[in-house]
Copies of this chain bind each other. A is one copy, B any other.
Amino acid sequence: MPTVFVTAPPESADELARTLVEERLAACVNRLACDSIYRWEDEIHDDEERILLVKTTDEAYDDLVARVRDLHPYDVPCVERFDETDVLPVYADWRDDAVRTRSDD
């Protein structure tokens, strides 16, 4: 099952996370405070950000990424998919139930 790693500015992270869960594209979103140093237009920036760890399903993944693109304030957001190699079955079942894809509507 995918965990989608997204970084966002602090002021938009909570709303982005809540929308993904409300719209059942994610079962859960963990938000973590971080500092990010990066190169942008050949200058180095060091900004406060939030990391979102978005817990979703294989079936909902494409819809989720499309929705993140809609909602995200950056033109070039960090959106990366990491797949676990094992998950507690009872947690996987809950995740499946909490996430609905278009085919379920």
Contacts and interface: CB of A to CB of B under 8 A. Distances in A.
A: interface residue count bin: 35 or more
Contact of A83 (B32, B34, B55, B85): B85
Nearest to A31: B35
Prevailing SS type, chain A contact patch: strand
Contacts of A44: 18, 21-22
Number of copies: 3
A49 B30 contact: yes
Interface in A79-95: 79-88, 90-91, 94
Q: Which 9 pairs of residues, A with B, have the shortest CB-CB distance? A: A28-B38, A81-B86, A79-B88, A80-B84, A30-B34, A39-B98, A32-B34, A31-B35, A80-B87
Interface of A: 1-3, 5, 7, 14, 17-18, 21-22, 24, 27-39, 44, 46, 49, 51, 53, 55, 61, 65, 69, 75-88, 90-91, 94, 98
